[in-house]
Homo-oligomer: A and B are copies of this chain.
Amino acid sequence: MDEWEDYRLVARHGKPGFEGNLDARPVRVGGVTFGGPDPVVIAGPCAVESREQTLAIARAVKDAGADCLRGGAYKPRTSPYDFQGLAEEGLRILAEAREETGLPVVTEVMDPRLVPLVASVADMLQIGSRSMQNFPLLMEVGKTRKPVLLKRGMCANLEEWLCAAEYVALGGNLDVVLCERGVRSSWAAEYARNTLDLNVLIPTRQRTILPVIADPSHSTGDAQLVPWAARAAVAAGAQGLIIEVIGEETSVDGVLCDGFQSVRPSVLRRIVEEVRGSAVPTA
């Protein structure tokens, strides 16, 4: 058996019109198209912490030119004593932010039992790194008709990632967007949270028809590095970005999650301009 048969539904191999090029089968989220000519920018807070914080950031990322709003209502946290998200209240706030800004909402689901609830609000269901091989969850989101953002596991190889997407596709849901978010390494510990693996982007596009984006926030863990990583990711073939944002004047220590890696709306605006200006080559 060839390797691609393990991910036959999402493989480029054997798909008419997709062989010999790097084109993606487009995935539409609201009016936004992943895998089209322009890189898509998803932006927003790490976690939904309050109505005020979320609405303010939502307006700011809309103004900065972002295409979708991100924000976690359910947060996977290493320690059980850390803030775990506002849950249903968080979903309600995200729905309100969408209504006000018109931005489609991308939010994480961790529990297969909550897929219907989260899918009733989200425009796109995020599967986080720690859940990349949570097979019951993958099968559950595969049953929905909501697009899925599938983050790469912290030490997953490419075949494992594509097979994870196949679990979603087998449920009948081919609207999967892949997201490189940095891999764990020893050498990076001093200067970055993870190692952004841009080498994976083109091999991924060579093997699958799914669009692939990058997360410069988690892959660097440092707001100063985010603009550089964002530019580099698009230059390396990323078809979009997902970026964490903090209020223009908010103290980094004042947020409950990932303050140090979140950029200000004014920085987001520059990133959006730069990556929109750059042609994203497709072959």
Which A residues fall within an 8 A CB radius of B? 5-7, 76-81, 110-113, 130-131, 133-136, 154-160, 163, 166-167, 170, 182-192, 194-203, 219-220, 224-225, 228-229, 231-237
Chain B residues, Cβ within 8 Å of A131: 134
Report B-chain residues with C-beta under 8 Å of the C-beta of A197.
Answer: 185, 187-188, 195-196
Using known A-B contacts A231-B235, A231-B236, determine if residue A136 contacts B110 with beta carbons closer than 8 Å: yes
Evaluate contact between A187 and B155: CB separation under 8 angstroms.
Answer: yes
Q: What are 15 A-to-B residue pairs whose CB atoms are below 8 Å? A: A5-B81, A6-B79, A7-B79, A79-B163, A110-B134, A110-B136, A111-B112, A155-B184, A185-B197, A186-B188, A187-B197, A187-B200, A188-B200, A198-B229, A232-B236
- How distant is A12 from chain B, measured CB to nearest CB, in Å? 14
The answer on a CB contact under 8 Å between A229 and B236 is yes
Q: Are A157 and B133 in contact (CB under 8 A)?
A: no
Main SS of chain A's interface residues? helix
A80 to B188, CA, bound (A): 22
B78 and A163: CB pair below 8 A? Answer: yes
Q: Please tell me which one of the listed residues B136, B159, B195 contacts residue A185 in the complex, with CB atoms under 8 A apart.
A: B195
Q: Give, as a whole number of angstroms, the nearest-CB distance from A136 to chain B.
A: 4
Residues of B within 8 A of A7 (CB): 79
| Interface contact A199-B199, CB-CB below 8 Å | no
Contacts of A157 on B, CB cut-off 8 Å? 186-187, 189-190
Nearest B residue to A236 by beta-carbon distance?
B232
| A264 CB, nearest partner CB in chain B, Å | 16
